[in-house]
Chains A and B, each alone.
Chain A
């Protein structure tokens, strides 16, 4: 699987948009970009994933650059409950089974 690089930590004011970057310059054409988060003392939670096009769901938006070498997760109106570690993961599609390789992620701190 391709390696990802994320900032160690980020801060965001409550109510503002949180933009979390991820670099995956070695991503191959058959790999998806996934985002998970882990709130303290809880299990990881799926947020969103995408291949080429930008994606949006009720939790977040995912913007993938045209060359697919980087992406940004956007939480449009961050709340205190969004304080968590955010993991960017790339995984191949069409694998008969799936395992996730979690790196160290970005610690997002949302402040009042």
Chain B
């Protein structure tokens, strides 16, 4: 039981390049989330998916798109990376409904030059 996995662990991009961050969970959770964490700041929600087939914007969605590929997988895409998107990205999942607990992946450290 791997929990929440993320790939890649590290990535360096040039401004304007695109990439997709992958996230998968094996806990049969319904809800999945993407957060970013910048130095000295707490986590900020980018997008979430309450259930398979639905996605909604979080606090900082600009510059990102997401795809809930199936119940297990939730990807985050940067179409044209900018230096302001340099951050650590965390994926999380939860069973959903009521006071559910979110479980986090190990993170992807992205640098945009």
Contacts and interface: CB of A to CB of B under 8 A. Distances in A.
Contacts of B74: none
B31 A98 contact: yes
A100 B102 contact: yes
Nearest to B100: A98
B35 to A, nearest CB: 8
Interface residue SS majority, chain A: loop
Nearest to A47: B101
Q: What interface size band does chain B fall in?
A: 20 to 34
Interface stretch (A9-17, A62-70, A88-96): A88-96
Contacts, number: 64
A93 B97 CA distance: 8
A91 B45 CA distance: 15
Given A42-B107, A43-B90, A43-B107, A98 B102 contact: yes
A102 B33 CA distance: 14
Nearest to B31: A97
A98 B58 CA distance: 11
Contact of B43 (A93, A97, A100): A100
B97 A99 contact: no
B61 interface: no
4 residue pairs, one from A and one from B, having the closest CB atoms = A43-B104, A102-B42, A97-B50, A102-B43
Interface of B: 4, 31, 33, 40-45, 48, 50, 56, 58, 90, 92, 94, 96-107
12 contacts: A42-B106, A49-B99, A51-B99, A87-B42, A93-B98, A97-B31, A97-B48, A98-B102, A99-B58, A100-B45, A101-B42, A102-B44
Interface of A: 32, 34, 41-46, 49, 51, 87, 91, 93-105
